[in-house]
Amino acid sequence: MKVVEKTGRTIEEALELALIEMDLSMDEVDYEVLESDSKGFLGLFGAKEAKIRVTEKENAHKIAQEFLEETLSNMNIYAKVDVRYQDEGLYAEISGDNMSLVIGRRGKTLDALQYLSNLVLNRNREEYMHLTLDSENYRERRKDSLEQLAHRMAEKAKRQRRDIILNPMNSYERRIIHSALQKDEEVSTRSEGRDPYRKVIIFLNR
Single out the residue of 69, 71, 73, 101 nearest to residue 83, CA to CA: 69
The domains of the chain are located at 3-56, 60-136, 140-204
Regarding pTM above 0.95, the answer is no
Angstrom distances, CA of residue 84 to CA of 48, 56, 63, 94: 44, 19, 12, 12
pLDDT of residue 100: 92
Ramachandran angles phi, psi of 135, nearest 5°: -155, 130
Ramachandran angles phi, psi of 141, nearest 5°: -65, -40
**Average pLDDT in the 144-168 region?**
96
- Just give the CATH number of 60-136: 3.30.300.20
Q: Is the pLDDT of residue 202 over 90?
A: yes
- Just give the CATH number of 140-204: 3.30.1370.50
pLDDT of residue 34: 87
Percentage of residues of the chain with pLDDT beyond 90: 53
* Number of other residues whose CB lies within 10 A of the CB of residue 126: 5
Beta carbons of 25 and 19 less than 8 angstroms apart? yes
Same fold, 3-56 and 140-204: no
| Architecture of the domain spanning 3-56 | 2-Layer Sandwich (3.30)
**Average pLDDT in the 53-68 region?**
86
